[in-house]
Structure 1
Amino acid sequence: MPKPPPPRPAPVRKPATPGRPKDLAKREAIFEAAKRLFIEHGYEGVSMDQIAAEAGVSKLTVYSHFGDKESLFAAAVKSYCETQLPDALLADVPGMPLRERLLQIGRAFYAMISAPEAIAGHRMLCTPRMAETPLPRLFWEAGPRRVQAAFAALLERRVAARELEIPDIPRAAAQFFTLLKGEPHAQLVFGCGEAPLDAKAVEAHVAASVDLFLRAYARRR
């Protein structure tokens, strides 16, 4: 009687590769969809269903990444700010003259806050309905507070190098960005300016703001 053939070894299964690239692509699609819809329709005018449809994902996927619409809005703001003004751009550059470094930061900051999507977001946050929600606070933590904290670290290093004399560094950091916004940004938000500043006018505005800041805090020799 012939012997039965030996059993075949079980096929070796390859370990499943994690779906990180796919997850990251979905997350980015959700970000982009949320930013577009928030700018076009405002926070209240956008639902998670709309964001999911715009991103080409399920609503469950949106919730699994961000939890709720408030968290998604805060994450979108944070992503926009970090992309337009990354921490590396706010960091000090040893050996670079202080005024030149401040001009670089000033140009990047003004470009960020004067972009159409930033103006639309600012107007949205200033509406009475939004003022009654946690969203302005979420925006503040994700955007201005991060920028000011990173810039304050630069000021601390320049104070230690005896280039600046600042009694209250966090206050000075806030003043720097307030100067850069100035009247041109207010006109953009209110829609009362003749037109956005051209490149030459922006450069003059940024330079004047930086020079005023340095007149206040540059160390007297």
Structure 2
Amino acid sequence: MKREAIYAAAERLFLSHGYEGTTMDAVAEEAGVTKQTVYRYCPSKADLFAGLISGMGEERSGFSFGNSALEEELHQFGLAFLTAHMGERNLSFFRLVMNESWKSEELRELFAKHAQSRWFDELSDFLEKRLELPDAGSIAQIFISMLLSERNRVLMGRRSPLPRDEIMTHVSLVVGIFLKGLPRDHTVK
């Protein structure tokens, strides 16, 4: 109960005051607990932020890779990934990181280490096993970048987040282009 209150308070403060503008004292006050209680659950502001952005990776709609055809597996991954990344919470945290990361090495490191790592690792592992590619990590990064291409327009205020039908259309387009661009010497299992 206290842990949830602390994380909820921290999220509100991070999103309204930024990473640099949020203190552990403010989190304690916002959560209605003592500062000692906050530190019992999270030893530092960095740990608190990491817990929040790591948790976003767990919002996966129950997705996991299976044994379906490659195109179907990539399509299902793309739908789960892009749906999570078009959510307002995820967009808000990404805006915060983009706004402050240029001046905060700590924030850059936290984001690099904790954001999207599970998505990326699972996709890389899947591609390595399924396609036997020597550099599955680079291929996974390209696929993820293609999926996120519409997010840039959303972040710039040029459009609203994609509704489900547009996510499905975008994912189908990305999967089709991606599969046509794979190295010809790969082996599909």
Q: Rg larger in 1 or in 2? A: 1
Alignment of 1:107-122 (within 5 A): 107-122=79-94
Residue identity (%)? 32
> Which amino acid letter does the alignment assign opposite residue 47 of structure 1?
T
Contact 1:37 1:51 in 2 (8 A): yes
Matched, 1:168 2:144: no
Alignment of 1:129-140 (within 5 A): 131-140=103-112
Pick closer, same or farther for the CA change 1:59–1:130 going to 2, 3 Å: farther
Contact 1:125 1:131 in 2 (8 A): no
Matched, 1:93 2:58: no
Task: Quote how far apart the aligned CAs of 1:93 are.
Answer: 0.7
- Cα deviation, 1:67-121, whole Å, max 9, x if unaligned, reads 1112211111111222x138x62x4312x22212211111111112111121121
Task: Please give the alpha-carbon distance, in whole angstroms, between the structure 2 residues aligned to 1:40 and 1:147.
Answer: 27
Pick closer, same or farther for the CA change 1:129–1:103 going to 2, 3 Å: closer
Task: Quote how far apart the aligned CAs of 1:127 are.
Answer: 2.2
Task: Please give the alpha-carbon distance, in whole angstroms, between the structure 1 residues aligned to 2:28 and 2:121.
Answer: 34
Contact 2:101 2:108 in 1 (8 A): no
Task: Please give the alpha-carbon distance, in whole angstroms, between the structure 1 residues aligned to 2:142 and 2:128.
Answer: 15
Q: Secondary structure at the match of 1:131?
A: coil
> Which amino acid letter does the alignment assign opposite residue 44 of structure 1?
E
Could you state the TM-score of these two structures normalised by the residue count of structure 1? 0.75
Contact 1:39 1:120 in 2 (8 A): yes
> Which amino acid letter does the alignment assign opposite residue 185 of structure 1?
R
- Cα deviation, 1:1-37, whole Å, max 9, x if unaligned, reads xxxxxxxxxxxxxxxxxxxxxxxx3222222221222
> Which amino acid letter does the alignment assign opposite residue 178 of structure 1?
S
The equivalent position to 1:54 in structure 2, one of 7, 19, 30, is 30
Task: Please give the alpha-carbon distance, in whole angstroms, between the structure 1 residues aligned to 2:4 and 2:125.
Answer: 30
Name whichever of 121-130 and 106-115 sits farther off. 121-130
Pick closer, same or farther for the CA change 1:111–1:131 going to 2, 3 Å: farther
Residue of structure 2 in register with 1:205 after alignment: 170
Could you state the TM-score of these two structures normalised by the residue count of structure 2? 0.87
Task: Please give the alpha-carbon distance, in whole angstroms, between the structure 1 residues aligned to 2:102 and 2:110.
Answer: 11
Q: Secondary structure at the match of 1:93?
A: coil
Matched, 1:187 2:163: no
Structure 2 alignment gaps of length 5 or more = none
CA RMSD of aligned residues (A): 2.2
> Which amino acid letter does the alignment assign opposite residue 30 of structure 1?
I
> Which amino acid letter does the alignment assign opposite residue 157 of structure 2?
G
Alignment of 1:16-31 (within 5 A): 25-31=1-7
Pick closer, same or farther for the CA change 1:129–1:147 going to 2, 3 Å: closer
